[in-house]
């Protein structure tokens, strides 16, 4: 159920109310019986990631190809450095 905010035009009291979509909006303040108006408030969720299923969630069980390429490149560079270092001695 969504939470709606109402503000009283008479006393300024802000009220948060859980209501169904089918419920009628509140019209009177419970404190002073002044007229209520519904407020538009900021949403309480945020999205993370790039927003694409393929890049964020698909194939999580498989190792990341980019990280395995980086590891193999680092190994091959290490192998290349050893022979050249021993030749200069």
Chain segment 5-56, per-residue pLDDT in tens: 999 999 999 999 999 989 999 999 999 999 999 998 776 676 776 767 676 6
CA dist., res. 26 & res. 4, Å (int): 10
Structural contact between residues 38 and 25, judged by C-beta atoms closer than 8 angstroms: yes
Does residue 28 sit within a domain? yes
Q: How many domains does the chain have?
A: 1
**What's the pLDDT tens digit per position in 48-89?**
767 676 766 666 665 555 555 555 555 555 555 555 555 554
pLDDT value, residue 79: 55
Which residues, other chains included, contact 33 with Cβ-Cβ below 8 Å and sequence gap of 6+? 10
Q: Give the number of C-alpha atoms closer than 13 A to the C-alpha of residue 50, restricted to the C-beta side.
A: 7
50: DSSP letter? S
Domain span including residue 10? 3-39
CA dist., res. 41 & res. 44, Å (int): 9
CA dist., res. 87 & res. 36, Å (int): 86
Does residue 86 sit within a domain? no
């Amino acid at each position: 159920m969504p939470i709606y905010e109402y503000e009283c035009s008479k006393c300024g009291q802000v009220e948060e109310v859980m209501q169904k979509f089918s419920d009628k909006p509140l019209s009177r303040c419970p404190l002073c019986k002044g007229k209520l108006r519904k407020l538009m408030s900021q949403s309480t969720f945020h999205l993370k990631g790039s927003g694409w299923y393929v890049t964020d969630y698909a194939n999580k069980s498989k190792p990341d190809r980019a990280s395995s390429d980086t590891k193999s490149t680092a190994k091959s560079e290490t192998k290349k450095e050893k022979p050249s270092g021993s030749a200069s001695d």
